Structure 1
């Protein structure tokens, strides 16, 4: 995988070429001050100070432990210990507000490569649906996945000459509440030939796909030949599509071949082997409850499934044990 292949998968690079066969998107270049804000973890998280005063979110995500660090004792006179003021990005906020209105009032955000799917748990709806600048900022700042975009996009490139992208972009994509997760698929292209298609959501068995599989494969193969193969310049890559109820295929995203891209119901070795053997397109779906795979990227914090020392669960177990010991002592007394 080379840097130029990774760069082609940035949404600001591919969307203008595929706008007519994708979902409506408005892209904004981010000022460096906002990028620094997303990466800043030096203190309590402050939501931006809204200039439109239309955000329902509180200005602060409170953390009692952080609060203690910034409390000022009465009469101390130490101004350096006062809680910092929230940042403000008025020009960017007004641009985003205008774009949200143009896209129907609700959007889901992503940066150059990634969407903050792992942070959906923090939103009031449990989704990536955003109607304001502060909701977008909250999702972006809370996502560990976006650290990939901001710091690690080129880590696995064989010709790695840069640590980060030259510019970062925020793509606002029109929100559709009626989209069906079973109709999204990841397609794998090797040597400019479509070699594999995988159900995108691998944690669920969708019986409806059993009867539609052959027709879906024909639609996606035809779409690839007519709209993708001659337009996307890389020889090896993957792309995600959504098939609508009236059998139109829409491009959702492009991803590099290998690296951080998930092969879903395949392994990369299987996909490489299919190229060598010259077989037709291998279309895989979860065909029974037994075929369900655990989530490869879950929409919960890392601490939720990390039980190692210092993790969130480690602290819960330790406090529970302390409480049990306290109760035992009380009973004994």
Structure 2
């Protein structure tokens, strides 16, 4: 028998404040049609004043635990993927641990921007396979609204806040591609491209900074690298695009999602899309989409899922799993 890390539960949380495209036109030279045509985004959610990333993460975590039929005490570890933690330290994960009432286990953050959840999922899989943990709560949570330049129409219209979570649990399989759970992963980064997507501030500068992006260049790299990493992970699992039930991509831009699916030879009827309602929620976008996809009845037991993302760094990667 082979040890596998299987998704036992999934959940998400979105702040109550919904910000429609048309609201941007009150202060910026933009419009609903302009934003939709370039990104596919129609609306996004913004965290309320005083509502932090750890708050969103905790709400998503509770939803995933409820879906799994588990309690916080059943969890061995928490991994939070975020670029917008509430404090320099401690980690958002330890704050979630406290909010859940967990007094045991361990918790830490992973920062790989929009690819963060993929990196967190791969690391949680490694902890389960190595025997470090039996159940890991993997969360993607962001409050990107706090680092946006509200005068830059090329970036501020694209992002939103939210959180998604999965409970990853140790199970066994036969060691074949038909097993449930994570079958393969592929992680990459290349710091030469760091200036394509970054925040112009940080702890050592004593300035929070704002998100900056070279949109055209990010688009070009995204389509090429996302399709490439998905094929690599599928190859590792002994599978191909024809075997894929659903792509659950990072929800950054509908044009990127469509181009990547086309490059993989898959139709949009096999892609879970939520970007229109959430915008780009960075590390939260994939677990959000997994949760919504399950709630819609799209994702079903036995489905082969490919999740893939690219973000600042540049950092990119994919995970192949069977639901």
TM-score (norm 1): 0.29
Bigger relative contact order (CA 8 A; separation at least 6): 2
Q: Based on CA coordinates, which of the two structures has the bigger radius of gyration? A: 1
Structure with greater proportional strand content: 2
TM-score (norm 2): 0.29
